[in-house]
Amino acid sequence: MIASLRSFAARLTGLAISTFARFMTAPRAIWHGIEPVPRQRVYFANHASNGDFVLLWTALPSPLRRQTRPVAALDYWLTSPLRAFIGRDVFNAVLIDRRPEARTEDPVAQMVAALDQGSSLIIFPEGQRNSSDAPLLPFKSGLYHLARARPQVDLVPVWIANLNRVMPKGEIIPVPLICTLTFGAPIHVEPEETRDAFLARATRALLALTPPAAA
């Protein structure tokens, strides 16, 4: 009974969050060189706002959304019962501990396990929110190791435009603006490709999706 009520509350909360996100941002998904089909994927995106994964998750068609899990920071989402409920129950996030000294699980192994369960993933290879003037921070190696572990899974670049203006850092009340999410053609790691070469190629694939005003 309690589990059923919790599941119902999670679905209701997820609907409320996605409805609010659509109302505030009117997200427009552009599928460029790829179609929104029910295929297992890893969506990797730029990270300029705390609302990034919510907007990407909201922009996916419902059948894709149900099978897609964001990869998120455990040390952020478990800081309060409400955040824990949203992270674990609403979004079914793969929670990664960003503190190596406190970590009990390997982050790549956690993501691979989620893929092996049939899930798609949303990840941010910069590893942290980008508050610099550069369009992207250097990518962490996790995307490469994930690509090596499951080379058959599509890695789909997604550029999120305008969300950092909707929710600027330090602000509580969002500013209504239209946001665009551009989904690019999938990439895969090449058999002999080095980590640095792959991450550079993944970075270029993501930057190629930036709208003219953001380039």
Quick one: DSSP state of residue 36?
A: -
CA-CA distance, 21 to 209, in Å (whole number)?
22
- Residue 163, pLDDT > 60, answer no
Report the sign of the C-alpha dihedral through residues 98, 191, 208, 33, in that order: negative
pLDDT digits (tens, 9 = 90+) for 43-72: 999 998 777 888 899 899 988 988 999 998
CA-CA distance, 90 to 83, in Å (whole number)?
10
Question: Phi/psi at 123 (nearest 5 deg)?
Answer: -130, 160
| Confidence at residue 103, expressed as pLDDT on a 0 to 100 scale | 80
| Confidence at residue 20, expressed as pLDDT on a 0 to 100 scale | 74
The residue that leads in pLDDT, 191 or 167, is 191
CA-CA distance, 7 to 13, in Å (whole number)?
10
- Residue 5, pLDDT > 80, answer no
CA 211 to each of CA 95, 173, 183, 194: distance values in angstroms, whole numbers, following the listed order: 31, 26, 12, 29
The mean pLDDT value for 3-18 works out to 77
- Residue 28, pLDDT > 50, answer yes
| Confidence at residue 188, expressed as pLDDT on a 0 to 100 scale | 97
Structure tokens given for 104 = 């009990």
| Confidence at residue 213, expressed as pLDDT on a 0 to 100 scale | 56
CA-CA distance, 215 to 32, in Å (whole number)?
17
pTM equals: 0.87
Look at 23-27, 36-40, 178-182, 203-207 and tell me which has the smallest mean pLDDT: 23-27
| Confidence at residue 19, expressed as pLDDT on a 0 to 100 scale | 76
User: Mutual orientation of helices 2-25 and 52-59 as an angle, nearest 10°?
Assistant: 90
Q: Which among 120, 119, 77 has a CA at the least distance from the CA of 98?
A: 77
CATH number of the structural domain 2-207? 3.40.1130.10
CA 17 to each of CA 119, 188, 195, 213: distance values in angstroms, whole numbers, following the listed order: 21, 32, 37, 28
- Residue 209, pLDDT > 70, answer yes
The mean pLDDT value for 107-134 works out to 93
- Residue 169, pLDDT > 60, answer no
What are the residue boundaries of the structural domains of the chain, listed by start?
Answer: 2-207
- Residue 166, pLDDT > 50, answer no
The mean pLDDT value for 124-132 works out to 87
Which band of pLDDT confidence, cut at 50, 70 and 90, is reported for residue 86?
A: confident
Burial, 65: exposed, middle or buried (Cβ in 10 Å; 0-12, 13-18, 19+)?
middle
